[in-house]
Amino acid sequence: MEIPIQSSYPKKRVECFVGIAPTDVVFSEHDVVQPDVFVVCDQKKITEANIQSSPDLIMEVLSPATSLKDKREKKNLYEKYGVKEYNKRSRFNVHGSRLKSPNSLLIKG
């Protein structure tokens, strides 16, 4: 699914790509994930086969089967590879995590 959006950051107008699972996000040969929802604002990272490198925003929908992996393993991986924003969504609320990025913007919804 492709939904073009206008980013409010950085300060210049940028076309962003919104993707959903099962799209591969390739951080390295051994680190490949399929986030539930992600946003990429650098068109050079988008290929026909997958996303190369870190999205600007990742959102995971927590379920009993994946909750622990999303909260620990994936969060650590996203921080390691410079994902600017990571949000975890449960049935009742959204938990935003500002990862180590000087230009990050915390999005809650």
Average pLDDT over residues 11-36: 90
Residue 34 pLDDT > 60: yes
Q: What percent of the chain has pLDDT over 90?
A: 51
- Enumerate residues 6+ apart whose C-beta is below 8 A from 87: 57, 58, 59, 60, 94, 95, 96, 97, 107, 108
pLDDT confidence of residue 56: 94
What's the predicted TM-score (pTM) here?
0.73
pLDDT tens digits along 82-103: 999 998 887 666 565 555 554 4
| pLDDT on residue 91 | 67
